Structure 1
Amino acid sequence: MKNASLMKYGLFALIVVIGVALDQWSKWYAESWLATERPGFFSHPIVLEVPEQAEGTTVEAYLTETFEANSPEEVKTIAQLYTRTEDGQQLHPESELEAGQVIEVTNREVTVIDGYWDFQYTRNPGAAFGIFADKDSSFREPFFLAVSLLAVFIILGLLRGVQNDQRLLLWALALIAGGALGNFIDRARYGYVTDFIVWKYTDAHRWPTFNIADALICVGVAFMVIEMIRDVMRERREGAQIEEV
């Protein structure tokens, strides 16, 4: 019995750690390799230092090698419109670069599946999918920090009652806890959450931008609902068997 309990808590901790690590790594990628500029809201450029081997290359050639996930047309647009020196001077696709020169790219997105899935950087001061993002920060930030911690403590309390055969419920609680902790880390460090995953059906129909932590929470809730349905069906079967006897 003791070994089973240790395995339960060990598996829970492992899923949480992997979930948080995946979430934080993906946000590091978004912070490092995606850029956007929203006048009046925030500016998040990609800052690049030109290496020695790129001495004398053009802006377009350097960005083509650096941004391998972008098509040649996308790189050309970035080089023409969204590349500048660190002091704000606009660069051109044919501008030659010097080793050690620092340049900024003010807008970069990555297309995963054309027309359906993009990576686009944004900052979300609210909850999942931008809920309460327009509330005052003096209320919003401590409120969401408290809610995230409360959710984790509630999950730990629920974990105690998880039976050994309720593996799906264990996964559900671990995924929700991992997602809550992932976004909690962002809010504690920056006061906002980094979102970057865009699912859409053409530009006219877009799901709200989200991140890995949001996805973990949604999958965890789905697993929990499935487990609840299974419990109801199990109870009905057991009740039917008792009536037959």
Structure 2
Amino acid sequence: MKNASLMKYGLFALIVVLGVALDQWSKWYAETWLATERPGFFSHPIVLEVPEQAEGTTVEAYLTETFEANTPEEVKTIAQLYTRTEDGQQLHPESELEAGQVIEVTNREVTVIEGYWDYQYTRNPGAAFGIFADKDSSFRKPFFLAVSLLAVFIILGLLRGVQNDQRLLLWALALIASGALGNFIDRARFGYVIDFIVWKYTDAHRWPTFNIADALICVGVAFMVIEMIRDVMRERREGAKLEEV
């Protein structure tokens, strides 16, 4: 019995660690390789230092090699409109670069599936769908930090009651905890959550931008609902058997 309990908590901890690691790595990618400039809200450029081997190459050629996930047309647009020197001077596609030079790219997105799935950097100071995003930060940050920690403590309390045969429920609680901790880390570090995954049907219909932590929470909730349905069905089957007896 004791070994089974240790295995339960060990599996829970492993799932949480892997989930948080995946979430934080994906946000590092978004922060490092995606750029957005929203005047009046925030500016997040990609900062690149030109390596020695790129000495004398043009802006367009360097960005083509650096941004392999973008099409040549997208790279040309970035080079024409969204590339500048460190002091803010606009660069052109044919501008030649020097080794050690620092350049900034002010806008870069990545298309995963044309018309359906993009990576676009944004910041969400609120909850899901931007709830409370307009509240004062002196209230918003401690409120969300407290809610995230409370959610984790509630999950740990529920975990104590999980039976050995309720593996799906264990995964559900671990995934929800992973997502809550992932977004908690963002709010503690920055005061906002990094979102970057865009699902859409053309540009006319867009799901609110989200991140891996949000996805983990949604999958966890779905697992929990499935486990609840299974429990109801199991109780009905057992009730039917008793009636037959």
Q: TM-score of the superposition, structure 1-length normalised?
A: 0.99
Q: Is 2:62 the partner of 1:87?
A: no
SS in 2 for 1:172: helix
1:178 positional shift: 0.3
Q: Which moved more, 1:146-155 or 1:124-133?
A: 124-133
- Distance, in Å, in 2 between the alignment partners of 1:3 and 1:128 is 38
- Distance, in Å, in 2 between the alignment partners of 1:203 and 1:134 is 25
1:129 positional shift: 2.9
Question: Once the two structures are superposed, what CA deviation does each residue of 1:45-71 show, in whole Å capped at 9, x if it has no partner?
Answer: 000000000000000000000000000
Q: Which moved more, 1:1-10 or 1:121-130?
A: 121-130
Task: Describe how 1:212-227 pairs up with structure 2 within 5 A.
Answer: 212-227=212-227
- Distance, in Å, in 1 between the alignment partners of 2:136 and 2:233 is 45
- Distance, in Å, in 2 between the alignment partners of 1:197 and 1:207 is 9
SS in 2 for 1:144: helix
- Distance, in Å, in 1 between the alignment partners of 2:25 and 2:129 is 20
Question: Once the two structures are superposed, what CA deviation does each residue of 1:39-96 show, in whole Å capped at 9, x if it has no partner?
Answer: 0000000000000000000000000000000000000000000000000000000000
1:31 positional shift: 0.3
Identity score, percent: 96
Moved segments of 4+, more than 6 Å: none
1:134 positional shift: 1.5
1:137 positional shift: 1.1
1:128 positional shift: 2.2
2:112 aligned residue: 112
1:146 aligned residue: 146
Structure 1 unaligned blocks of 5 or more: none
- Distance, in Å, in 2 between the alignment partners of 1:82 and 1:164 is 55
2:189 aligned residue: 189
Q: Which moved more, 1:127-136 or 1:6-15?
A: 127-136
SS in 2 for 1:37: strand
- Distance, in Å, in 2 between the alignment partners of 1:78 and 1:129 is 29
SS in 1 for 2:221: helix
Question: Once the two structures are superposed, what CA deviation does each residue of 1:146-203 show, in whole Å capped at 9, x if it has no partner?
Answer: 0000000000000000000000000000000000000000000000000000000000
- Distance, in Å, in 2 between the alignment partners of 1:32 and 1:130 is 23
1:138 positional shift: 1.3
State the Cα RMSD in Å. 0.5
Q: TM-score of the superposition, structure 2-length normalised?
A: 0.99
- Distance, in Å, in 2 between the alignment partners of 1:24 and 1:80 is 32
Q: Which moved more, 1:155-164 or 1:126-135?
A: 126-135
- Distance, in Å, in 2 between the alignment partners of 1:78 and 1:59 is 10
SS in 1 for 2:210: coil
- Distance, in Å, in 1 between the alignment partners of 2:229 and 2:134 is 36
- Distance, in Å, in 1 between the alignment partners of 2:58 and 2:78 is 13
Q: How many residues align?
A: 245
SS in 2 for 1:31: helix
SS in 1 for 2:57: coil
2:133 aligned residue: 133
1:139 positional shift: 1.2
Question: Once the two structures are superposed, what CA deviation does each residue of 1:106-159 show, in whole Å capped at 9, x if it has no partner?
Answer: 000000000000000000001123222112211111100000000000000000
